[in-house]
Chain A
Amino acid sequence: MAPGAAVGMDVALIGASMTRFGQREEWILDLLAEAGRACLADAGVDGADVEHCFVANMASGEFEGQTGIMNALAQDLGLVPAYAQRVDQTSASGGGGMYAAWQSVASGASDMTLLVGGEKMTHRTTAESTDVIASITHPAEYKHGVTLPSFAGLTARAYLERFDAPRESLARVAVKNHANGASNPKAQFQKEVDLETVLDSPMVADPLRLYDFCPVTDGSAALLFCPADVAREYADEFVVIEGIAGATDTHVVHEREDPTVMGAVRDSGTAAFEMAGRDPDDVDVAELHDMFTILEFLQMEALGFADHGRAWEQVQAGRTERDGELPINTSGGLKSKGHPLGATGVAQAVEIYEQLLGEAGERQVDAETGLACNVGGFGNCVTTALLEVAG
């Protein structure tokens, strides 16, 4: 069977929530419980009816010294004796959790699956957080002091040079995503920035500057999954997962044939589109993993929204702005909304859920099909999901 081929039953999302993202006083267990409770309340589902619970989190042990968080959450939300499992897929833990939760329902193993993603990071210094995240690299990379931002700098230089793209086009990604985040009451940064501010900000990984990077963030997000026929008992209108797939690329970044191609984005996207019977032209709104501005270009190209080396032209032309043909990162993206690692993939799908159901407030766009792409490492592991409205 081809990867991503449809199996089992249609899987619906009947509840969604996210906490305020930013610097939070709460620790990981309280952040997860806040999003989980709000999600169950949103769906009108009792905790006792939850059969499976997945917790997406990269590094609560390393950041906080707290492990076993899936069991803690199951008890805190009154889910016992539900099956509970933690999903770690680095920055793509949320997307990994989406895939696990989808599998748990599509297989028939669970009729009600709660996914909660979260991370608590801001109590660490930026240098310490950077080191926790850099520990995902190969020892041959780590010993040189490589960081995820430095991979972005290496890749951005290669991209700008090879495709003759202006430096300003990357800054436009930050400007656009900050403009969107300004309309998101749960975003870490609810303020617009202009091009000059981005281009004059301190150098972090040449040629990328401070505003090319997402911040360090605390926060949590949750989604509730069930079979579509069960969803009808709870809601007249809900969201269905039409396609979902995951893929990996090489762990060692420099071993990729072309540093400007995100192979795992391409492969997970192709499989998700195939499963859904859709193509890139069908997508009305997308949340992409803009941990660094350059990644928004590379994902647009790997998912088929732009030809290789041409995404920057679409951004320059405004096609990906909220009133453009394909709005990207209406939530503010990781750049402005924030990036609590394990929460991010879930929060991306929460934004698409709200867009599809007309619940996005000031950020609302006209959308029937939405896509979320969650990237781990520097494209090491990726999940892509296609969501649509049903009822």
Chain B
Amino acid sequence: MSDEPGLLAVECENGHLSHPGHPICGECGAPRAGAVDLAGETAMVVTWTTSHATPPGVREPNTLAIVEFEVGDQQVRVLGGTTTPDVAMGDTVRPVYVPELRDPEAGIKVPESQAWDGYRFEPVE
């Protein structure tokens, strides 16, 4: 059994997907009804940046990407760090679980107020 939480796209009653989830679907207003785990899928890099001025508790440099998963006939976009600064638009990537993405104690937020684990993206050949 894995302790990984999954990279969840929330699905509304009408099948619209979003990440992160919201109480109400942004597309149609229906309540959330389930979730699809994207952790085992691959995605395409839509755009990326490498941030050299990072806040307390964040790795430096911090390469971030917006990636797009294809789920059936829908596209779901996710923001996350990448495992390497060597990425390009159009690259195929896969999610890699990271238990702590930044130091929860170092920033302005109350550590207990949110999750700090998640997925970074690793280019695949």
State in angstroms the CA–CA spacing of A198 and B79 once bound together: 28
Compute how far the CA of A144 lies from the CA of B121 in the bound complex, rounded to whole angstroms.
12
A to B CB contacts below 8 Å, 18 in the list = A130-B53, A140-B19, A140-B79, A142-B107, A144-B62, A144-B79, A145-B55, A145-B64, A145-B102, A147-B53, A147-B54, A149-B53, A150-B51, A154-B48, A161-B47, A205-B53, A254-B79, A259-B66
List the 9 shortest-distance A-B pairs measured between CB atoms, nearest first.
A153-B49, A145-B58, A131-B55, A139-B114, A140-B20, A158-B47, A150-B51, A206-B50, A254-B79
* B64 close to A154 (CB less than 8 A): yes
| Central interface residue in B18, B56, B57, by most chain A CB within 10 Å | B56
Contact A150 B64 (CB under 8 A): yes
A-chain residues with CB within 8 Å of residue B66 when the two chains form the complex: 154, 254, 259
Q: Roughly how many angstroms separate A260 CA and B54 CA in the complex, as a whole number? A: 24
Q: Does B80 contact A (CB under 8 A)?
A: yes
Q: In the complex, A206 Cα to B63 Cα: how many Å?
A: 9
| Residues from 25 to 64 in B contacting A, C-beta threshold 8 Å | 26, 46-59, 62, 64
> How long is the Cα–Cα vector from A204 to B109 in the complex, in angstroms?
23
Question: Quick check: is A253 within 8 A (CB to CB) of the other chain?
Answer: yes
Counted as pairs of residues, one from A and one from B, with CB atoms less than 8 Å apart, the total is: 123
Chain A residues positioned under 8 Å from B81 (CB to CB): 144-145
A2 located at the interface, meaning its Cβ lies under 8 Å from any Cβ of chain B in the complex? no
Q: Which residues of A contact B (CB under 8 A)?
A: 62, 126-128, 130-132, 134-135, 138-147, 149-150, 153-158, 161, 202-208, 250, 252-255, 259
Bound-complex Cα distance A258 to B51 (A): 22
Q: Indicate if B115 sits at the interface (CB-CB under 8 A).
A: yes
Say yes or no: A206 contacts B49, CB within 8 Å: yes
Contact A254 B114 (CB under 8 A): no
- Given A144-B80, A145-B81, A130-B55 contact (CB < 8 Å): yes
**Smallest Cβ-Cβ distance to A62: which chain B residue:** B108
Name the residue of chain A whose CB is nearest to the CB of B81.
A144
* Known A140-B79, A144-B81; contact A131-B20, beta-carbon cutoff 8 A: no
- Across the interface, do B109 and A142 meet the contact criterion of CB distance under 8 Å? yes
Q: From A154, A158, A202, name the one whose CB has the most chain B CB atoms within 10 angstroms.
A: A154
Instruction: Determine which of A127, A144, A205 lies in contact with B50 in the assembled complex, contact meaning CB atoms within 8 Å.
Output: A205
Q: Closest B-chain residue to A209, C-beta based?
A: B52
The complex places the Cα of A206 from the Cα of B115 at a distance, in Å, of 27
Q: How far is the CA of A147 from the CA of B58 in the complex (A)?
A: 10
Per the bound structure, the CA–CA distance linking A255 and B18 in Å amounts to 8
User: Which residues of chain A are within 8 angstroms of B2 by Cβ–Cβ distance?
Assistant: none
Query: Which residue numbers of B lie inside 8 Å of A, CB to CB?
Result: 18-20, 26, 46-59, 62, 64-66, 77-81, 89, 101-102, 107-109, 113-118
Q: Is the CB of B49 within 8 A of A255?
A: no
B62–A145 CB distance below 8 A: yes
- Which residues of A lie under 8 Å from residue B114 when comparing CB positions? 139, 142-143
Q: Which of A135, A143, A158, A253 contacts B102 (CB 8 A)?
A: A143
Q: How far is the CA of A155 from the CA of B114 in the complex (A)?
A: 26
Is the beta-carbon distance between A250 and B26 smaller than 8 angstroms?
A: yes
Residue of chain B at shortest CB distance from A203: B52
Q: How far is the CA of A36 from the CA of B100 in the complex (A)?
A: 46
Contact B53 A127 (CB under 8 A): yes
B56 touches A252 (CB 8 A): no
Residue of B nearest to A210 (CB): B53
Judging by beta carbons under 8 Å apart, are A127 and B56 in contact? yes
Beta-carbon contact of B78 and A254 below 8 Å: yes
The verdict on A127 contacting B54 (CB below 8 Å), with A135-B109, A154-B66 known, is yes
Q: Within 8 Å CB of A132, what residues of B?
A: 108
Residues on the B chain within 8 Å of A62, using CB: 108
9 additional A-B residue pairs with CB within 8 Å, beyond A144-B118, A156-B49:
A130-B54, A135-B109, A140-B20, A142-B109, A142-B114, A143-B114, A143-B118, A145-B51, A252-B79
Contact of B79 among A146, A157, A204, A208 (CB under 8 A): A146
A202 to B53, CA, bound (A): 10
A298 to chain B, nearest CB (A): 14
Cα separation A153 to B116 with both chains bound (whole Å): 23
The residue that A203 contacts in the complex, of B26, B50, B58, with Cβ under 8 A, is B50
A10 to B57, CA, bound (A): 50
Q: A62 vs B102: C-alpha distance in the bound complex, in angstroms?
A: 20
Instruction: Give the nearest-CB partner of B66 in chain A.
Output: A254
A149 to B49, CA, bound (A): 10
Cα distance A250–B118 in the bound complex, in angstroms: 22
Contact B113 A128 (CB under 8 A): no
